[in-house]
Amino acid sequence: MRFTINDKPVEAEFDPRTSLLDLLRDHLGLTGSKKGCNQGACGACTVLVDGERINSCLALAVQYQGRAITTVEGLGQTGSLHPLQQAFVEHDGFQCGYCTPGQLCSAIGMAGEAARGVPSVVTADLGDETVTLSHDELRERMSGNLCRCGAYNGIIDAITETFAADGSQKGDAGARKAA
């Protein structure tokens, strides 16, 4: 089976019951994506597929052949970090670091959703075509990613600086200006 992971073609043969998360972690050695519950409740396994965030533990790998999959390893590496990764370090948006890859991928997917005008439950006017990534919008939209260490304030600060502070995006999430 053929996949595109972090812009590279990958071939793998595996049990068709394998989740996308297990494919990444156990078969391809991409252990940046984390397993925290294996049932879609914690968000640690979040990866981007064609720019959209999904829980890779709930995805069967076979369904994602030919799609563009981005994991934390594809965002940036030590020495050439993505601006959001750098902002997480500066704002201390983690402690143990285990939920971090999921928070990062989720935030990038989230910024894309907001840029496309997708409303959330706290969006005041569902008809609005633009979304302002306010503190409440960010907290609501990131609530699928649990952090038991409680680095939530730092995470929101890092996302705000990267995607919402001055209304422009420093990151290369491929999303438009988020209001």
- Site residues (vs other proteins, CB under 8 A): 15, 17-18, 22, 25-26, 29-42, 44, 71-73, 75-79, 81, 85-86, 88-90, 92, 94-101, 104, 135-136, 138-140, 142-156
Q: Give the nearest distance from C-beta 5 to other proteins in angstroms.
A: 13
Rank residues 72 and 175 by Cβ distance to other proteins and give the closer one.
72
Element (H, E) at 113: helix 100-115
Given CA atoms 170, 68, 120, 117 in this order, what sign does their dihedral have?
Answer: positive
Q: Which is nearer to other proteins, 29 or 127 (CB)?
A: 29
Nearer to other proteins, 42 or 54 (CB): 42
Two tokens at 24?
């990444």
- From the centroid of its chain, how far is CA 103? 6
In whole angstroms, the minimum distance from the beta carbon of 19 to other proteins comes to 9
Cα distance between the two ends of the chain: 40
Task: Name the DSSP letter for residue 163.
Answer: I
